Amino acid sequence: MEKKTTYLVMETHPAYAILLDNEGRFVKAANCGYERGDRLESAVLLRYPQDARAKRRRRIRMAVSLAACICLAIFGVEQYRYVFVPYGKIQMEINPGVEMEVSRSGRVVELNGTNADGKSLIDGYEYEGKDRYEVADELADRAIEMDYLANGGEIVITADAQSAKWVQVSEREIQEELEGHLAEYDISIVISTAPEKMIQEETESITIPGPAQETQQSVQPSGEVDDGDSGYGDDSYGDNGYSGDSGYSDGDDAGDSGYDDDGDD
């Protein structure tokens, strides 16, 4: 049930009176012959244009304040996601395998070992509040101290996220960061990304013959040797019933056709 408003006359003037309502507010009302101390059940309240403008300004201020609160809430949520929510993963494959979960800001929000050596490498390591570059450098230092990484060793960097651009940029920047950091050590360590490693392995697995090898293959005998003999002098052709003697020179008629004897006739 709505509470009824009552008034107490505080001041009187020729045209108006100052009233105090039961909620503690002072209002102006038309002076209908009131005297100070009168209690009223109703009154004709006076409303001035400036009062309406003041109320309108109050409403505008409230709306602006509400919009600002909403914007701050949205910004706060986005800022939280930007700093604390994982956006992508970066793996360092030394021999110990280590995986960093990284936010959009580059902050490491989770660190895991992908194998037994990786878990041993990160055991006791504090990564909270550090960015990916600092964590990568310190993990490389720990790998050297724990003899996981030595001269001639290799670190392969692999990034994974929904954004292909983020993956490429992250792999390149971590590679450059580690190359600059490990240059302080008097050892040679190869820093590569997963695509570079893949290309290198594919290149090593393909053998392209050189000019000398191609020439040798082109002149290599096929297994049958040609000795320059066509075979016409073999017995397969010499022994065919024709020994080279046609038979016209044998017998008594050899060289005699018989025309000379009858020449006198």
Q: Are residues 38 and 69 in the same domain?
A: no
Is residue 239 in a domain?
no
Is residue 237 in a domain?
no
Check if the beta carbon of residue 217 is closer than 8 Å to that of residue 210.
Answer: no
100-114: per-residue pLDDT in tens? 999 999 999 999 999
Is residue 260 in a domain?
no
| Domain encompassing residue 60 | 56-83
Is residue 231 in a domain?
no
The pTM of the full predicted model, rounded to 2 decimals, is 0.53
Q: Are residues 143 and 97 in the same domain?
A: yes
CA–CA gap between residue 129 and residue 123 (Å, rounded): 17
Q: Higher confidence at residue 251 or residue 176?
A: 176
CA atoms within 13 A on the CB side of 49: 0
Residue 122 clears pLDDT 90, i.e. is over it: yes
> How far, in Å, are 28, 29, 91, 194, 251 from residue 7 at the CA level?
11, 10, 76, 82, 176
Mean pLDDT, range 236-242, rounded to an integer: 44
Q: Are residues 18 and 60 in the same domain?
A: no
